[in-house]
Amino acid sequence: MVSVAPLQYLSTRDAAPTPARLGFDEVLLAGLAPDGGLYLPERVPVLSPEEIAGLAGLPYAALAARIVAVFAGTRIGALPLAPLIAESYAGFGHAAVAPLKELDSGLWLMELFPGPTLAFKDYALQLVGRLFEALLTQRGTRVTIVGATSGDTGSAAIEACRDRDAVDIFILYPQGRVSEVQRRQMTTVSAANVHAIAIEGNFDDCQDLVKAMFADAAFRDRLNLSAVNSINWARIVGQIVYYFAAALALGAPHRPVSFSVPTGNFGNVFAAHMARRMGLPIAELVIGTNRNDILARFLASGRMTIGGVEPSLSPSMDIQVSSNFERFLFELKGGSGAAVAAAMQEFRATGTLPVSEAEWCLAQSLFTGHRVDDAGTRESIAATWRASGELLDPHSAARRDQTIPMVALACAPPAKFPDAVEAATGMRPALPPHLADLLTRRERITVLPNDIAAVQRYVSNHARPLAVPARRAGGAA
């Protein structure tokens, strides 16, 4: 049996001698800690090899229920979690949920795109949307989720929150700077609680507007603002599951397996790292980066210094400051919130994160950095196509071959990036049937200037009142 003792959470920046601890529900709703830190469990739950062996052969949703229970217990408020988890994955377009394909001897591809928006973000967000709805409905209240997207996260968050009574969601995207498929995945959702807003600016402007809304305490409280971006701990939990699924399928706990993870905000690879700390026998964790290679440079040189963000064929990895790295930094700093807070302050002030020789060596012992530029991405897509007849999207192309079984994560289908795939292979991938008519669906377009007052006015005018009439007999639990 997997232990279900309730875990407590603390902030990576809590500098108090005895850091405050919160339960999973509070951490879910809060997203970011008030001190600017990210939430982590106070201890990592470790499963014995026997416990891991006992998970082999479970259907994906049952495995997810076991893993989520380790972090959240078996209930959300008064409601049992297992049915919510089953529902989260029932709509995925593959019975295995996270299917593995053998590309070459010992080299596997885990296809993480059978979810409703074809993004691996669906694995966590489909669950997180349901957790929000269940908890808030029991509490008789509502949240206003605001977020910025450069493409994929927005549609996955919208799909997870659409038609939910306890949630209004506002997603800002840079006008003219997301692909047509990505824009339409947001603007063709007709649910009344969904608001996709094109901002006359770039992605950084959108992020700054979101930060400014959170920084306005009166606005934040009046609308009960919340976030579902990858700093939310529940998203990490939702991603740990597929590492277990893949490793178990390839022989864990008796055989080790390695993973190659295309990395942007460090959320996905941090979930892999957690799975390893939980006892899953993961040999190597490869951090795939594109030309925005701050993480690969850090592993190679010990210096983490911010550069400018440059556009690439894999836009979801065009990130310099990986927000989830702070969770790993907490570990590097020996679990000292004060040291993390000081390091983050210096990083912000100087552009360089203070990391000692010993901390760098520890990081090197846990992760391998692998940088693939645009030319390498094209080459890798073409070589895989020739060798196995599989089309890879440009994000999945960041990977490496190994002797221990290597699972390369395919986080997006090739059809989301048809131009790059066609240029590399001559094949133009088609969208799956449920999205085939996306390009002819009716869009609702809202454009706002890059102006915080205009955006706040719009959000205020379109968010519903916070109190939700309790629907369940017995009222708010």
Ligand X SMILES: *Cc1c(COP(=O)(O)O)cnc(C)c1O
For residues 137 and 322, which CB has a smaller minimum distance to ligand X in the complex? 322
Q: List helix spans (H) across 294-439.
A: 294-301, 325-332, 337-350, 357-366, 374-388, 418-425
Is residue 337 close enough to count as binding ligand X by CB under 6 A?
Answer: no
- With tokens 């593959």, the residue in question is 94
- Binding to ligand X (CB under 6 A): which residues in 51-110? none
Closest contact distance (angstroms) between CB of 318 and ligand X is 10
Is residue 266 close enough to count as binding ligand X by CB under 6 A?
Answer: yes
Q: Of residues 150, 175, 268, 290, which one binds ligand X by CB under 6 A?
A: 268
Closest contact distance (angstroms) between CB of 143 and ligand X is 23
Non-local (6+) Cβ contacts of 18 within 8 A are none
Closest contact distance (angstroms) between CB of 270 and ligand X is 8
Closest contact distance (angstroms) between CB of 113 and ligand X is 8
Is residue 38 close enough to count as binding ligand X by CB under 6 A?
Answer: no
Is residue 185 close enough to count as binding ligand X by CB under 6 A?
Answer: no
Encode burial over 150-169: b for 16+ CB neighbours within 10 A, e otherwise.
Answer: bbbbbbbbbbbbbebebbbb
| Both structure tokens of 127 | 């669950």
Is residue 264 close enough to count as binding ligand X by CB under 6 A?
Answer: yes
Strand residue runs (E) in 42-153: 75-76, 79-80, 100-104, 107-111, 143-148
Cis peptide before 253 (omega within 30 of 0): yes
DSSP assignment of 121-133 equals HHHHHHHHHHHHH
Is residue 119 close enough to count as binding ligand X by CB under 6 A?
Answer: yes
For residues 139 and 400, which CB has a smaller minimum distance to ligand X in the complex? 400
**Spatial contact of 102 and 108, defined as CB atoms under 8 Å apart:** yes
| Both structure tokens of 456 | 């706040």
Residue type, 363: A
Is residue 238 close enough to count as binding ligand X by CB under 6 A?
Answer: no
Q: Which one of 262-270, 289-297, 301-309, 448-456 is the stretch in contact with ligand X (CB under 6 A)?
A: 262-270
For residues 236 and 459, which CB has a smaller minimum distance to ligand X in the complex? 236
From residue 124 to residue 163, the character string flagging contacts with ligand X as x (rule: CB under 6 A) and all else as - is: ----------------------------x-----------
For residues 201 and 264, which CB has a smaller minimum distance to ligand X in the complex? 264
Distance CA 20, CA 34 (A): 11
Q: Of residues 145, 210, 295, 412, which one binds ligand X by CB under 6 A?
A: 412
Is residue 267 close enough to count as binding ligand X by CB under 6 A?
Answer: yes
Closest contact distance (angstroms) between CB of 268 and ligand X is 4
Q: Of residues 137, 149, 265, 380, which one binds ligand X by CB under 6 A?
A: 265
- In total, the chain counts a number of residues equal to 477
Task: Single out the catalytic residue among 121, 211, 333, 416.
Answer: 121
Comparing C-alpha atoms, which of 70, 227, 81 is closest to residue 160? 227
Is residue 114 close enough to count as binding ligand X by CB under 6 A?
Answer: no
| Both structure tokens of 29 | 């709703």
Handedness of CA 271, 272, 273, 274 (dihedral sign): positive
Distance CA 20, CA 11 (A): 8
Q: Which one of 92-100, 265-273, 346-354, 372-380 is the stretch in contact with ligand X (CB under 6 A)?
A: 265-273
Is residue 123 close enough to count as binding ligand X by CB under 6 A?
Answer: no
**Spatial contact of 234 and 27, defined as CB atoms under 8 Å apart:** yes
121 an active-site residue?
yes
Closest contact distance (angstroms) between CB of 202 and ligand X is 18
Closest contact distance (angstroms) between CB of 272 and ligand X is 10
For residues 52 and 236, which CB has a smaller minimum distance to ligand X in the complex? 236
- Binding to ligand X (CB under 6 A): which residues in 316-335? 316-317
**Spatial contact of 224 and 142, defined as CB atoms under 8 Å apart:** yes
Non-local (6+) Cβ contacts of 146 within 8 A are 169, 170, 171, 172, 210, 213, 214, 225, 227, 459
Closest contact distance (angstroms) between CB of 357 and ligand X is 26
Is residue 14 close enough to count as binding ligand X by CB under 6 A?
Answer: no
| Both structure tokens of 2 | 């997997």
Q: Of residues 129, 395, 421, 448, which one binds ligand X by CB under 6 A?
A: 395
- With tokens 């400051």, the residue in question is 321
- With tokens 């190597």, the residue in question is 284
Is residue 188 close enough to count as binding ligand X by CB under 6 A?
Answer: no
143: helix, coil or strand? strand
Q: Of residues 411, 421, 455, 463, which one binds ligand X by CB under 6 A?
A: 411
Q: Catalog residues that contact ligand X under the rule CB under 6 A.
A: 119, 121, 152, 230, 262-268, 316-317, 395, 411-412
Positions annotated as catalytic residues are 121
